Chains A and B, each alone.
Chain A
Amino acid sequence: MSEAGPVPGGGDAPVVIRVESLSKTFPRAPGGRRPPSLKALLAGRLGADERRAVLCDVDLEVRRGECLALLGANGSGKTTLLRLLAGIYRPDAGRVATRGRVATLLELGTGFHDELTARENVLVNAALLGLAPREAAARVGSILAFAGLADRETDPLRTLSSGMVVRLGFSVAVHLDPDVLLVDEVLSVGDVAFRKRSLERIAALRDAGCTIVFASHEAPIVERLATRAVLLEAGRLLEEGSAADVARGYFGGGA
């Protein structure tokens, strides 16, 4: 469509992720939690009084082609926000709406099984990530090729090095052809060459109009990829702006 302007995240591109006053709470850590009473269960207030807020009243809009970096300390709610965007969790309050096919790259090689072959694992992983089995079968060749493992197709996964396994997982994720890609701190794995290639691949997806939201602790990755950034602190959206500004504020002057 023509509205896919040359400027990523241009002000008139359609909104593909809309988050409205989103809140999410979790039960307190199991050790410190009193098991919920039967009465609470029947009253539908299961453990309602012993929960901690992980995200508080977050509002966010992401337009097509934007690459949004989520910054913030450990426990600030980045992963929870990504999981809510993916539909893994349901909000306690507020709304999350996304448009198009959403793919998650929250972990590389989700659902991989050591005893299955590289090819079988690709098919399982792709299906779990939302690809129809027929589509997965059509793409398995190019997925293996991108991972550089075309000749290891029928080897059990356990015979592959851990670096190869990571490559395979990444290769599946970038072959999903998503409209929205959610990425959680997996861009800093693998050896130097692989990191470089994976960053290039994500940048290429962004340039092709894929909307990306990613969490990262690394200033160079944020500056390289992001068109915009938000800073989370204790579950609240503290700051929002251009990647350069927010990153400078968060990582400090040195970044």
Chain B
Amino acid sequence: MRFGPGAALDHARETLRHLPVVGVLVRRSVRARYQGTILGFGWTLVTPALLFAVYGLVFGVFFDTGVERYGLFLLSGLLPWLWLSQSIEDASDSLRESGRLLTRVALPPQTLPLAVIGAQGVSFVLTLSLLLIVAVAGGHVSWLGLLSLPAIVILQAGIVAGLALPAAALCTVFRDLRQLLGTAVRMLFFLTPIVYPLERVPESLRLGATLNPLHWLIDAYRSVFTLGEAPAPATWCVLVASAVASLAVGALVFEALRERAMEEL
């Protein structure tokens, strides 16, 4: 078992060398995912659309959160959340599902969770583009906001990878965790201001809510889509720090458990 900065750097180098293979795996899974279904790639829109409909009804109408243009507000939080949560859940199954592959070709195991993030990322970018068209048409987006969007997406990719890599290794080695993960992700969904604004959190608890880096991530998207501004400098700082820290810790955890995970396959 290796540990320390050296292991994280080796991990980064190995991953960069194998990015073309990750690309191939992403293509494979995107091409294969909806093969044989009538709706085809259209399915990538159906899940977000249905969730949007039900959350919109419950939190936009039943419990009125008092947010103007709640639809735009909800979607700009829900879409990034779906990329994050579906990537983490799929990644935690990815090593076991591809165990046959990993024990038969010399493929670094992190390529599989990363390919999951990429495949989910394709759906995310597609849905986000549609949201962007709607927001631009409504006149809610500024040039600065538009320009900051790719950077936000890239920073989110880092955060998602930093969470999905350890989730993949941990759930493979300690199977019990896989049972817990789905519930934990759902809890995080309700604890992060996604369907409600931060202002609805009581003052006494608000500091706690702002300690959640995902709040800042969602906040960055909201700046672009609902305020029509680039994220504030403080938001950028939190996002960069979160991405770097989670990637570093995630890579270390992954490397520490990697060989154990391989032996479980």
Task: Decide: B32 and A115 in contact? CB cutoff 8 A.
Answer: yes
The B79-124 residues at the A interface (CB cut-off 8 A) are: 100-107
Given contacts A106-B104, A115-B36, A124-B28, contact A26 B263 (CB under 8 A): yes
* Residue numbers in A under 8 Å from B102 (CB-CB): 88
Give the distance in Å from the alpha carbon of A237 to the alpha carbon of B224 in the complex.
65
Assess the B105–A111 pair: CB atoms within 8 A: yes
How far, in angstroms, from A51 to B104 measured CA to CA in the complex? 22
User: Residues of B contacting A89 with CB < 8 Å?
Assistant: 259, 262-263
Flag the segment in A125-133, A159-167, A203-211 that touches B: A125-133
The residue in chain B whose Cβ has the minimal distance to the Cβ of A54 is B263
- Chain B residues closer than 8 Å to A104, beta-carbon distance: 104-106
Stretch at the interface among B19-27, B58-66, B150-158: B19-27
CB closest chain-A residue, reference B33? A115
Contact of A88 with B259 in the complex, beta carbons under 8 Å: no
Say whether B203 faces chain A, with CB atoms less than 8 Å apart. Answer: no
> Once the chains bind, are A44 and B20 in contact (CB under 8 Å)?
no
Q: A83 with B103: in contact, given A30-B264, A44-B1, A132-B20 (CB under 8 Å)?
A: yes
Complexed CA–CA distance, A156 and B35 (Å): 10
8 Å CB interface, A51-88 against B: 83, 86-88
| B43 CB within 8 Å of chain A | no
Instruction: Give the bracket for the number of chain A residues in contact with chain B.
Output: 20 to 34
**How many contacts between A and B, using CB within 8 angstroms?**
77
Chain B 244-265, CB-CB to A under 8 Å as 1, else 0, gives 0000000000000001101110
CB–CB B106/A86 < 8 A: yes
By the criterion CB–CB under 8 Å, are A47 and B260 in contact? yes
Asked if residues A128 and B103 are in contact (CB atoms below 8 Å), the reply is: no
* Nearest B residue to A38, CB-CB: B174
User: Among residues 194 to 246 in chain A, which have CB atoms less than 8 Å away from a CB atom of chain B?
Assistant: none
Query: How long is the Cα–Cα vector from A27 to B35 in the complex, in angstroms?
Result: 38
Do the beta carbons of B24 and A124 come within 8 Å of each other?
yes
Q: Are B106 and A102 in contact (CB under 8 A)?
A: yes
Q: Is the CB of A130 within 8 A of B106?
A: yes
Cβ distance A82 to chain B, nearest Cβ, rounded Å: 10
Contacts of B107 in A (CB 8 A): 128
What residues of B have a CB within 8 angstroms of the CB of A152 in the complex? none
B1 touches A46 (CB 8 A): yes
Interface of A is mostly: loop
**CB within 8 Å of B: which of A14-62?**
26-27, 30, 35-36, 44, 46-47
- For residue A107, which residue of chain B has the nearest CB? B104
A123 touches B24 (CB 8 A): yes
Q: Does A142 contact B (CB under 8 A)?
A: no
Considering residues B24, B32, B35, which has the most beta carbons from chain A within 10 angstroms of its beta carbon? B24
CB contacts (< 8 Å) of A26 on chain B: these are 263
**Which of B28, B176, B264 has the most chain A CB within a 10 Å cutoff?**
B28
- Asked if A90 contacts B259 (CB within 8 A), the reply is yes
Report chain B residues within 8 Å CB of A47.
260
Among A87, A106, A111, the most chain B Cβ lie within 10 Å of the Cβ of A111
Give Cα A129–Cα B101 distance, bound, in whole angstroms. Answer: 10
Q: Least Cβ distance of A139 to chain B in Å?
A: 15
- Docked Cα-Cα span, A210 to B31, in Å, equals 35
In the assembled complex, A116 has its CB within 8 A of some CB on chain B:
yes
Q: Which of B36, B262, B263 has the most C-beta atoms of chain A within 10 angstroms of its own C-beta? A: B263
Cα A220 to Cα B230 with chains together (Å): 71
Q: Which residues of chain B are within 8 angstroms of A95 by Cβ–Cβ distance?
A: none
List of A residues within 8 angstroms of B21 by Cβ: 127-128
CA distance A36 to B256 in the complex (A): 14
Residues of B136-185 at the interface with A, using a CB-CB cut-off of 8 Å, are 173-174, 176
With beta carbons under 8 angstroms apart, the residue of B24, B105, B174, B262 that contacts A133 is B24
Least distance between B183 CB and chain A CB atoms (Å)? 19
Write out, one digit per residue, whether chain B residues 26-44 have a CB within 8 A of any chain A CB (1) or not (0). Answer: 0110011001100000000
Q: At the interface, yes or no: A175 with Cβ under 8 Å from chain B?
A: no
Query: Residues of B contacting A111 with CB < 8 Å?
Result: 28, 101, 105
Instruction: Flag if A128 contacts B260 (CB, 8 Å).
Output: no
Query: How far is B256's CA from A90's CA once the two chains are assembled, in angstroms?
Result: 12
9 nearest A-B residue pairs (beta carbon) = A115-B35, A127-B24, A106-B104, A107-B104, A87-B106, A86-B106, A110-B104, A115-B32, A113-B32
* 17 residue pairs A–B, Cβ–Cβ below 8 Å: A27-B260, A35-B174, A36-B174, A44-B1, A46-B1, A88-B103, A89-B259, A106-B103, A111-B28, A111-B105, A115-B36, A116-B28, A116-B31, A120-B28, A123-B24, A130-B105, A133-B24
A88-B104, A88-B262, A128-B24 known, 11 other contacts, Cβ within 8 Å:
A44-B1, A83-B103, A88-B105, A90-B259, A102-B106, A104-B105, A116-B28, A116-B31, A123-B24, A124-B24, A133-B20
